[in-house]
Amino acid sequence: MNLKWTIVAEAQLENIYNFIKTRDEIAATRVYNDILDEASVLVHFPYMAPVEPVLSDFPEMYRSLAVKRNYKVTYHVENDEIIIVAVFDCRQRPGRLREKIRR
C-alpha cells in the first residue's frame, strides 16, 4: 500500500502546525510529527480506523484515525493507495468535516 496526501489534507496539516506554533513551536512540531507517524501506520493496517459516521452517505468509504484525541486523519482506500483527504480538528463542529471533504 502507498500513502498519498491530497493537497487539501497537506494544507490542513500545515494550518494546524502554524496555529499551534503561534503559542508553542515545540508543541506544534510534536503534533505535526504525531499526525505523520500515526498516518504512516495505515500503510500496514489500512482498515484499522473505523468508518467515519459523518461521511457514511458519501460514495467512498471514508475512515478516520484519531490522533492525540483532538485530531482525525480522514482517508479512503482505493486500489493499492491510502488517500488522506483531511486532517480535522475534532473540537470543531462535526459538520465541518463534510465541508472539508467536498472541497
Q: pLDDT tens digits, residue range 12-39?
A: 999 999 999 999 999 999 999 999 999 9
Number of domains in the chain: 1
CB contact at 8 A, 42 and 48: yes
* Angstrom distance (rounded) from CA 73 to CA 69: 11
Specify the pLDDT at position 86.
94
| Reported pTM | 0.88
| Average pLDDT value for residue range 2-6 | 96
- The amino acid occupying position 73 is V
* Listed residue (76, 74, 68, 78) closest to 94, CA to CA: 74
Q: Which residues pair with 47 in a beta bridge?
A: none
Specify the pLDDT at position 89.
86
pLDDT tens for residues 62-96?
999 999 889 999 999 999 999 999 998 888 766 66
Range of the domain at 40: 2-102
pLDDT-derived band of residue 100, with 50, 70 and 90 as boundaries?
low
Output the domain CATH number for residue 49.
Answer: 3.30.2310.20
